[in-house]
Amino acid sequence: MDDPHADRRPPAQRLVHPWLLCIAILIAGIVLLPVISLATVALTGSGEDWPHLIRNVLPGATTTTLGLLAMVAVGTAVAGVISAWLVVAFDFPFRRTMSWALVLPLAVPPYLAAYAFAEFFHYSGPVQSLVRAVFGFETIRDYWFPDVRSTGGAALVLTSVLYPYVYLTTRVVLLMQGRNIGDVARTLGARPAKVFLRVLLPVTRPAIIAGVALVLMETINDIGASEYLGVRTLTFAVYSTWLNRGSLEGGAQVALIILVLVFALLMLEQHSRKRQRFHNSRGTQIKAHHPRIPLHGRRGWTALGVTLSPVLLGFGIPLFVFGQYASRRIEQFATPELGAAFLTSVATSAVTAVLTVSLALVLVNAVRVARSGGMTALVRLASVGYALPGGILGLGLILVLTRFDNGLDALMRVEFGVSTGLLVSGSAAAVILGCTIRFLALAEGAVRSGLDKLPPHLDEAARSLGKSPTASATTVLLPLLKPAILTALVLVFVDTVKELSATILLRPFGFGTLATYVYEQASRGAPEDGAAAALVIILTAMAPVILLSGALMRDREASM
């Protein structure tokens, strides 16, 4: 009903798929399970933690969190939008390479980036060593150097690895709409900077907000990077209330505050989508060849420098730091544990990606068919798993799953004399379910924006030619959605490879991913010992990221 195209679709579809709606509601329900479970835990709390929380914890944690969010939002927006604009609108040396290299930092988990930044900018790291050598300083007391271990430092780390979300969403819009609008403005005599500020920025605003919303949800759920850098966010408060003061209820209550923040973000994102019209009814318009504005000499190299710097920060520094450590531990690459962890990671991530994207397709299609506010709200609600801290989501899920398993076990014992044990919670299914719940929002967002980009009358045409909604969806929409589906698959795959805190809590015996392997090594206080595995994570996630860039190129052609 909030959909701007709603009135243009045949109302008859509403009644067609009761089973589809049931499945969609079921999916949304499952996704909400850990949240409901947490809320239940929170409700059993007495509230005795609150005087302490309100007086000593929440003001600081809220300020820190909001400050971090604000800095990361501005940082990723600036880095993402400027780099997207440069690679789309201009031609400069290595532009084609940069257009996919800009996505690479997505392959780096924030907790690894935090460690790499801390090492890189540490007193004994290359940067400060260079500073001392150049200026002849003897000790740290002779000069001032900004500390990565601060809220600003954490914002820099998170910005460096998360800006690709903004880059991706913005670039698509710029490719699809920006240039021809920009061309009109330019033919009217506007200079590129003015075109950018006055024409392109407003047009891309919804895409920027959608990208930033993803970034902020990742920022909220992060615990590894901020904890390592000594930044006390609300998520840190959840853990310290739960673990250090022994109050799971209090921790769950703080987690609910985080959820409120997330709802605000989701509403912002949804509001931005209302104004977002990616699709273009006359495809030929964009098909026209648009020459990029060539940048020569100093300006060209400046453009390269500007696009290169976020890649060097978010990808170069981690690669440098872990590469250096790993080079001294070549034998680590040959350990059977690393091989097993690699296979487990790839298999788990692949299964999770396929499952998550399938569920997202069902949900998105249900919203499209049902066009009811209730359904839309339900699907929105199903996105909150993305912003819940992984460990908290994992805990909420394990409480539900074990209850289910033990209930089933008791029932089976009584009825059939057979014990089913920990059917779900004691197997890899728990990990896959956890990651699916966590990343459904990512897949759903990618699929939905792909669908939004298609002219609505495409499948209406198929319908008018007598195809059933299912047939029109599978024969007309699905092939056109292929780039969006590939994007969703890659995003979920990469995030599952990186996922740590939910996996570590939900996994069964003998189940180790690359991320848990690194963590096992790193949490002994010597992250260098996990360097080989860290490098393998980055490389494993890098391959599909490059694939994704290829998909984006095709995406552009497919939608033209």
Partner 1 sequence: MRLNRLAQLAAFAAAGVASTAALAEGTVNVYTYRQPELIKPVLDAFTKETGIATQVLFLDKGLEERIASEGENSPADVIMTVDISRLTAAKEKGITQPLVDDVVNKNISAEYRDPEGHWFGLTKRARVIYASKDRVTQTEITYAELADPKWKGKICMRSGQHDYNLALFSAAIDHWGPEKTEEWMKGLKANLAKKPDGGDRPQAGAIAAGECDIAIGNTYYVGLMRNNEKDPKDKQWGNAINVLFPTFTETGGTHVNVSGAALAKHAPNKDNAVKLIEFLSGHEAQQIYAEKNYEYPVEPGLEPSSTVKEFGELKADTLSLADIAKNRKAASEMVDRVGLDDGPSS
Least CB distance to partner 1 at residue 119 (A): 10
Tokens 């070549």 belong to which residue? 330
Least CB distance to partner 1 at residue 419 (A): 4
C-alpha–C-alpha distance, residues 31 and 302, integer Å: 46
C-alpha–C-alpha distance, residues 245 and 253, integer Å: 14
Across the chain, how many H-helices and E-strands are there? Answer: 26, 2
Contact residue for partner 1 among 32, 192, 420, 480 (CB under 8 A): 420
Pick between residue 76 and residue 521 the one whose CB is nearest to partner 1. 521
Q: Which amino acid is at 355?
A: L
C-alpha–C-alpha distance, residues 170 and 200, integer Å: 10
- For 165-182, give the DSSP string: HHHHHHHHHIIIIIHHHH
Whole-angstrom CA distances from 450 to 40, 173, 354, 485 are 36, 11, 17, 8
Stretch that binds partner 1, among 165-173, 195-203, 315-323, 502-510 (CB under 8 A): 502-510
Residue 508 found at the interface with partner 1 (CB under 8 A): yes
Least CB distance to partner 1 at residue 250 (A): 11
C-alpha–C-alpha distance, residues 54 and 60, integer Å: 10
Pick between residue 308 and residue 537 the one whose CB is nearest to partner 1. 537
Least CB distance to partner 1 at residue 498 (A): 18
Least CB distance to partner 1 at residue 507 (A): 7
Residue 422 found at the interface with partner 1 (CB under 8 A): yes
Pick between residue 7 and residue 331 the one whose CB is nearest to partner 1. 331
Q: Segment 224-253, which members bind partner 1 (CB under 8 A)?
A: 228-230, 232, 239-240, 242-246, 248
Pick between residue 177 and residue 516 the one whose CB is nearest to partner 1. 516
Q: Segment 519-558, which members bind partner 1 (CB under 8 A)?
A: 520-521, 523-526, 528-529
User: Which residues partner with 293 through β-bridges?
Assistant: 90
- For 449-512, give the DSSP string: HHHHHS-THHHHHHHHTT--HHHHIIIIIHHHHHHHHHHHHHHHHHHHHH--HHHHHH--TT--
Pick between residue 123 and residue 373 the one whose CB is nearest to partner 1. 123
How many residues interact with partner 1 (rule CB under 8 A)? Answer: 70
Enumerate long-range contacts of 118-123, CB under 8 Å, 24 or more apart.
118/148, 118/149, 118/228, 118/229, 119/321, 120/317, 120/320, 120/321, 121/145, 121/146, 121/148, 122/148
Pick between residue 164 and residue 512 the one whose CB is nearest to partner 1. 512
Residue 457 found at the interface with partner 1 (CB under 8 A): no
Contact residue for partner 1 among 186, 277, 290, 329 (CB under 8 A): 329
Residue 402 found at the interface with partner 1 (CB under 8 A): yes
Site string for partner 1, 362-401 (x = CB under 8 A): -----------------------------x--xx--xx--
Closest CA to 146 of 134, 155, 135, 136: 155
Least CB distance to partner 1 at residue 363 (A): 24
Distance spanning both ends of the chain, measured CA to CA: 28
Q: Segment 34-73, which members bind partner 1 (CB under 8 A)?
A: 52, 55-57, 60
How many C-alpha atoms does 327 have within 13 Å on its Cβ side? 6
Stretch that binds partner 1, among 103-111, 142-150, 449-457, 490-498 (CB under 8 A): 142-150
Contact residue for partner 1 among 383, 427, 449, 549 (CB under 8 A): 427
User: Which residues partner with 294 through β-bridges?
Assistant: 91
Least CB distance to partner 1 at residue 427 (A): 3
Q: What are the tokens at 513?
A: 């991913």
Contact residue for partner 1 among 72, 118, 367, 541 (CB under 8 A): 118
Q: What are the tokens at 200?
A: 């392109």
User: Which residues partner with 91 through β-bridges?
Assistant: 294
Secondary structure percentages of the chain, helix, strand, coil, to 5: 80, 0, 20
Contact residue for partner 1 among 122, 205, 482, 556 (CB under 8 A): 122
C-alpha–C-alpha distance, residues 31 and 29, integer Å: 5
Residue 428 found at the interface with partner 1 (CB under 8 A): yes
Least CB distance to partner 1 at residue 176 (A): 41
Least CB distance to partner 1 at residue 260 (A): 22
- CB-CB contact of 402 with 391 (8 Å): no
Pick between residue 149 and residue 186 the one whose CB is nearest to partner 1. 149
Residue 406 found at the interface with partner 1 (CB under 8 A): yes
Pick between residue 239 and residue 315 the one whose CB is nearest to partner 1. 239
Residue ranges in contact with partner 1 by CB under 8 A: 52, 55-57, 60, 118, 122-124, 139-141, 147, 149-150, 228-230, 232, 239-240, 242-246, 248, 328-329, 391, 394-395, 398-399, 402-403, 405-406, 409, 412, 417-429, 501, 504-505, 507-511, 516, 520-521, 523-526, 528-529
